[in-house]
Amino acid sequence: MLYAVFMSPSSPHLPASPDPVGEPALLEIGLAADDEPCLRADAARNRARLLEAAARLVAEHGPAGVTMEAVAAAAQVGKGTVFRRFGDRTGLLTALLDHTTKQLQADLMSGPPPLGPGAPADERLRAFGKAVLRWSVAQLELHLAAQPEPARRIAHPSHRVLATHVTILLRELVPEADCALQAQALMGYLDPALIHYLTKRCDMPLERLEAGWSDLVARVTGAAGAPGPR
């Protein structure tokens, strides 16, 4: 549970992670999450062609309409080509979702503040959560279809780059905390399955989730002005 990571005067001193991460490492992780940058030019073109076909199917039929067979037919290639490139349907959908994260990652690394560098860490952390919430809500069905296995999703480079970004900001704000662990707890608030439940099942507006993120950041980092218990 998220409240387990909140700091209090009686909290024990927690050591910093033995592998401190900075912006250069975040950039390296971001490259690792990229669309296989070492592919040959012809292979890269084929991969882009398959992703464009998958994107058209999502636009026309939703994620449920994206199968390996349908993508192969739309791209006019053999089904084996799609399997060789992406492994399975989850790999294909994850690659398509990764394609949409590039702008978000670019904004984190070099975009304007407060999402990008140049703003205080607490402002950047609040802006980060709101940006991820909006990005997730905009393509929620694709998120859910691409992430059926929690362990696979958490281990994926696209998740790692976002969690690493949160870890970097937390180390500036609460260096005495176990920032790598707290970052994962904060990322749990931004889980697409939870966002789907809160917005679709509980009818919570996005603005409430954004306000809740700002409140959570204030409580975790001990920022002044956090509202009292309700």
The 10s digit of each residue's pLDDT in 145-190 is 887 666 777 888 888 999 999 999 999 999 999 999 999 999 999 9
The count of other CB atoms within 10 Å of the CB of residue 57 is: 21
DSSP one-letter code for 3: G
| pLDDT at residue 38, as a whole number | 53
pLDDT at residue 194 in the model: 94
Contact 21, 167 (CB under 8 A): yes
End-to-end CA distance of the chain, in Å?
18
Amino acid present at 131? A
pLDDT 10s digits, 98-130: 877 888 999 999 999 999 999 999 999 999 999
Q: What is the pLDDT of residue 70?
A: 95
DSSP 5: G
Select from 46, 55, 52, 48 the least CA-distant residue to 78: 46
Q: What is the pLDDT of residues 128-143, one digit of tens each?
A: 999 999 999 998 988 8
Confirm if 182 and 32 have CB atoms less than 8 A apart.
no
- Are 46 and 81 in contact by the 8 Å Cβ rule? The answer is yes
Query: Is 4's pLDDT higher than 50?
Result: no
Residues contacting residue 72 through CB under 8 Å, at least 6 positions apart: 78, 79, 81, 82
- What was the pLDDT predicted at 98? 83
Q: What are the residue ranges spanned by the domains of the chain?
A: 21-221
Token pair for 148? 């059926």
User: For residue 230, what is the DSSP state?
Assistant: -
**Predicted local distance difference test score (pLDDT) of residue 71:** 95
Q: What φ, ψ does residue 122 adopt, rounded to 5°?
A: -70, -35
Which residues, including other chains, have CB under 8 Å from residue 29's CB and lie 6 or more apart?
A: 157, 160, 161, 164
CA distances from 97 to 101, 104, 138, 176, 214 (A): 7, 12, 12, 35, 26
Fold of the CATH domain 21-221: Tetracycline Repressor; domain 2 (1.10.357)
Predicted confidence (pLDDT) per residue in 14-40, tens digit = 334 444 445 545 444 444 444 455 557
Residue 170 makes CB contacts below 8 A (sequence gap 6+) with 121, 125, 177, 179, 182, 183, 186, 220, 221
Dihedral (CA of 135, 139, 141, 143) sign? negative
Token pair, residue 141, equals 């069905």
How many residues are listed for the chain in this entry?
A: 230
